[in-house]
Amino acid sequence: MPNLFLLFSHTLTPEQEHEIEKKLKVGFIAPLPKDLQKIWSNIKPKGELDIKSLDEITSWLENFATKDDFVLIQGEFGATVYLVNFCFDAGLIPIYATTKRIYEETKKEDGTIERKHIFKHVNFRRYMRWEKGY
């Protein structure tokens, strides 16, 4: 039974937990340790990507994840690409959550407009590695 390692900055929704249990059939969910979560949630937008700090996360995965474990990766684009590539090379299965976006706009009596964006979990999807001739 595979495990699931979380590389994202949110908490799982009940719908996501249900899918993890029923479809992915995960045995254990491993959140990032607090020090690594701080790195993942605070990637600086300025300058080059700090690969050294991301390698602390790859070391954690190397120490605890085994082949065919899932890794839910969502975050800063460059860091996400870096970790997805790491997972492919390490024999791990990188996944992400897809969402349905619902937009509502309401005109209030005072003339103001209230906008509401709702994101609803749809499913988890595997990141795909590009292959020529695909």
Q: What is the pTM of this model?
A: 0.88
Share of the chain above pLDDT 90, in %: 84
Query: Quick one: pLDDT at residue 80?
Result: 97
Structural domain spans, the chain? 3-126
pLDDT tens digits for 39-84? 999 999 999 999 999 999 999 999 999 999 999 999 999 999 999 9
Tell me the residue ranges of DSSP E strands in the chain. Answer: 3-7, 28-31, 70-73, 93-107, 113-126
**Residue 92 to residue 112: CA distance in whole angstroms:** 49
Q: The tokens of 133 are what? A: 């001739």
Half-sphere exposure of 54 (CA within 13 A, CB side): 21
